[in-house]
């Protein structure tokens, strides 16, 4: 498949329905995911599903999954509004970072109101592996901080209706963006059309750029 001719959906919970879509399907919520059913799958430890009791089991399942053909680790991350205590989340996230280094897999990040902790973890890890913050809808200043630490930002459904987010998106360099649908029942093409309009570039030009980012982040050359 020619990446530059495809719509790349960097994070979704639904399988692609169109041949011109490359979807990185998140299987984290499945008890017994079929990693071979899709070429591009991610698997992680979502902070919403993390408890004090299931930490070891979740880490074991992730390590087992990494021995299969998973494409990326995710969703993983930190959330101060849901899930286990943030200290417990941070400990698990540190373990996940170590696994990502061991298996050389990029992270697809879920982060809610824990940006300070996320950046601290990034600094402490000293990793060069790309991290992608999915579903980003923060400010220009927050975007700038994340970009300074080498993170990529993925934008989804909110981009179509949030004027402030469109302003943030316009300030993010093209070589640092991805697009997604997450769990929304919508077409990734609609996100691309909106993104191209905000960036004032052609749809084909945007597809080419996102494809280049995809190739770079996942070392597909």
Low-confidence ranges of the chain (pLDDT < 50): none
| DSSP conformation class of 219 | T
> What pLDDT, on the 0 to 100 scale, is given for residue 24?
96
Strand extents, DSSP E, 38-130 = 41-43, 72-79, 107-112
198 Cβ contact list (under 8 Å, min separation 6)? 159, 166, 169, 170
Closest residue by Cα to residue 117 from 141, 140, 153, 85: 85
Per the listing, tokens 């059913």 go with 37
Domains of the chain: 3-217 (3.20.20.140)
Cα distances from 83 to residues 87, 88, 120, 138, in angstroms, run 11, 9, 20, 21
Closest residue by Cα to residue 166 from 123, 199, 130, 201: 199
End-to-end CA distance of the chain: 13
> What is the dihedral sign for C-alpha 7, 13, 18, 19?
positive
> What pLDDT, on the 0 to 100 scale, is given for residue 53?
85
Q: How far apart are CA 52 and CA 158, in angstroms?
A: 32
Residue pair 198/169 in contact (Cβ under 8 Å)? The answer is: yes
Helix axes 55-66, 86-103, angle to 10 degrees: 20
């Amino acid at each position: 498949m020619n990446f530059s001719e495809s719509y790349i959906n960097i994070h979704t919970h639904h399988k692609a329905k169109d041949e011109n879509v490359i979807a990185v399907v998140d299987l984290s919520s499945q008890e017994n995911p079929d990693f071979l059913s899709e070429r591009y799958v991610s698997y992680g430890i979502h902070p919403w599903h993390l408890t004090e009791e299931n930490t070891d089991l979740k880490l074991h399942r992730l390590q087992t999954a990494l021995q299969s053909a998973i494409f990326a680790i995710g969703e993983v991350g930190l959330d101060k509004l849901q899930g286990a205590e943030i200290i417990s989340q941070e400990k698990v996230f540190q373990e996940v970072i170590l696994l990502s280094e061991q298996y050389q897999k990029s992270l697809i990040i879920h982060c809610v109101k824990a940006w300070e902790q996320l950046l601290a973890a990034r600094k402490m890890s000293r990793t060069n592996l790309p991290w992608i913050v999915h579903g980003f809808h923060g400010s220009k200043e927050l975007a700038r901080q994340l970009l300074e630490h080498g993170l990529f930002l993925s934008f989804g459904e909110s981009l179509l209706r949030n004027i402030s987010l469109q302003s943030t998106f316009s300030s993010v360099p093209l070589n640092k963006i991805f697009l997604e649908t997450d769990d929304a029942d919508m077409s990734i093409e609609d996100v691309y059309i909106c993104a191209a309009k905000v960036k004032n570039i052609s749809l084909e030009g945007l597809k080419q750029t996102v494809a280049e980012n995809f190739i770079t982040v996942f070392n597909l050359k």
